[in-house]
Amino acid sequence: MPDRASNEQGVIERGVIERDVIERWSREMDARGPAGENPVDGFLRTACLSYTEPAAAGRAADLLSADPALATATAGTLAACAEADLLAELLDRDRAAVSRETGPHRWPPLLYLCYSRLGVGDPVATMRVLLAAGADPNAGFLWRGQPSPFTAVTGVLGGGERDEPPHPDAVPLAGLLLDAGADPNDNQAFYNRQFRADNDHLPPLLGHGAGRPAPSPWRDRLGASYPSPEEMVGEHLRSAAAHGFTERVRILLEHGVDPNTRGYHPVLGDQTAYEVAVRNGHPEAAALLEQAGGWSDRLDEVDRAIGAALAGGRGGGAPAGHPADLVDRRPDAMRLAAEQHDRGALERLLALGFDVNAAAADRRTALHEAALRGDQAMVTWLIEHGADPTLRDRDFGATPAGWAAYAGHQELAAWLEARTR
Any domain includes 122: yes
Task: Name every residue whose Cβ is closer than 8 Å to that of residue 251 and which is 6 or more positions away in sequence.
Answer: 199, 202, 206
**Residue-level pLDDT at 231:** 94
Question: How many structural domains comprise the chain?
Answer: 2
Task: Name every residue whose Cβ is closer than 8 Å to that of residue 126 and which is 6 or more positions away in sequence.
Answer: 78, 79, 82, 83, 84, 87, 113
Any domain includes 292: no
pLDDT per position as a tens digit, 211-231: 999 999 999 999 988 999 999
Alpha-carbon gap, residue 88 to 32, rounded angstroms: 29
- Nearest alpha-carbon partner for 211 in 265, 251, 173, 166: 251
DSSP 188-226: HHHHHHTT-S--TTHHHHHHTTTTS----HHHHHHGGGS
Any domain includes 286: no
Same domain, 72 and 195: yes
DSSP class of 74: S
Helices (H), 94-245: 109-115, 123-132, 152-157, 170-179, 187-193, 202-207, 217-222, 229-243
409 sits in the region (left: phi over 0; alpha: psi -120 to 50; else beta) called beta
Query: At which of 198, 219, 240 does a domain end?
Result: 219
pLDDT per position as a tens digit, 319-338: 445 555 678 888 899 999 99
pLDDT per position as a tens digit, 74-85: 999 999 999 999
Evaluate the CA torsion angle 148, 152, 157, 158 in order and state its sign. positive
Same domain, 205 and 346: no
- Nearest alpha-carbon partner for 235 in 243, 383, 345: 243
**Residue-level pLDDT at 205:** 98
DSSP class of 147: S
DSSP class of 319: P
CATH at residue 139: 1.25.40
Any domain includes 337: yes
Is residue 5 predicted with pLDDT exceeding 50?
no
Alpha-carbon gap, residue 250 to 194, rounded angstroms: 15
Is residue 12 predicted with pLDDT exceeding 60?
no
Kindly list the distances between the CA atom of residue 7 and the CA atoms of 2, 15, 158, 312, in Å, as whole numbers in the listed order. Answer: 10, 19, 19, 30
Same domain, 57 and 195: yes
The whole model's pTM is what? 0.87
Is residue 368 predicted with pLDDT exceeding 80?
yes
Same domain, 338 and 209: no
CATH at residue 342: 1.25.40.20
Any domain includes 379: yes
pLDDT per position as a tens digit, 142-201: 999 988 999 999 999 999 987 899 999 999 999 999 999 999 999 999 999 999 999 999
- Nearest alpha-carbon partner for 253 in 269, 243, 241: 241
Q: Are 224 and 266 in contact (CB under 8 A)?
A: no
Query: At which of 219, 254, 286 does a domain end?
Result: 219
Alpha-carbon gap, residue 12 to 5, rounded angstroms: 13
Query: At which of 153, 184, 219 does a domain end?
Result: 219
Alpha-carbon gap, residue 119 to 133, rounded angstroms: 23
Same domain, 73 and 213: yes
The helix, strand and coil proportions of the chain, stated in percent and rounded to the nearest 5, come to: 50, 5, 45
User: Residue 277 — φ and ψ, nearest 5°?
Assistant: -60, -45
SS3 150: strand
- Looking at the DSSP bridge assignments, the partners of residue 140 are 151
State the burial class of residue 52 (Cβ atoms within 10 Å of its Cβ: 0-12, 13-18, 19+): middle
Residue 100 has a CB neighbour count (10 Å cut-off) of: 15
**Residue-level pLDDT at 56:** 79
DSSP 359-398: --TT---HHHHHHHHT-HHHHHHHHHTT--TT---TTT--
Domain that holds residue 383: 319-421
Residue 392 has a CB neighbour count (10 Å cut-off) of: 15
Alpha-carbon gap, residue 356 to 387, rounded angstroms: 6
**Residue-level pLDDT at 322:** 53
Any domain includes 78: yes
**Residue-level pLDDT at 313:** 62
Res. 2 pLDDT band, cuts 50 70 90 = very low
Q: What is the mean predicted confidence (pLDDT) over 378-403?
A: 96
pLDDT per position as a tens digit, 199-208: 999 999 999 9
Same domain, 36 and 160: yes
